[in-house]
């Protein structure tokens, strides 16, 4: 999992979509947090919850000025 996340971070950072302030450990933590929330979310609400989580994570990981 770490190797895949590392490659994804490097790819997204090179494309300018991932800030220097965040790292692979942040991504792995985010994945585990979202997985935990989604397992406790009613099935019919999972898509909306996943979208909200993605929006929060996108904001957290994008490059900062």
In which domain, by residue range, is 19 found? 2-61
Into how many domains does the chain fold?
Answer: 1
Question: CA-based Rg of the chain, rounded to a whole angstrom?
Answer: 13
pLDDT at 43: 97
- For 5-56, the pLDDT digits (tens) are 999 999 999 999 999 999 999 999 999 999 999 999 999 999 999 999 999 9
- The helix-helix angle for 2-14 and 24-39 (nearest 10°) equals 110
Structure tokens at 60: 């957290």
Predicted local confidence at residue 52, as pLDDT: 97
In this prediction the pTM is 0.87
3-class state of residue 49 by DSSP:
helix
């Amino acid at each position: 999992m770490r190797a895949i996340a590392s490659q994804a971070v490097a790819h997204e950072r090179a494309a300018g979509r991932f800030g220097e302030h965040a790292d692979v450990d942040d991504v792995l933590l985010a994945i585990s947090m979202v997985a935990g929330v989604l397992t406790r979310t009613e099935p019919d609400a999972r898509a909306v919850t996943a979208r909200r989580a993605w929006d929060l994570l996108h904001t957290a990981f994008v490059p900062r000025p």
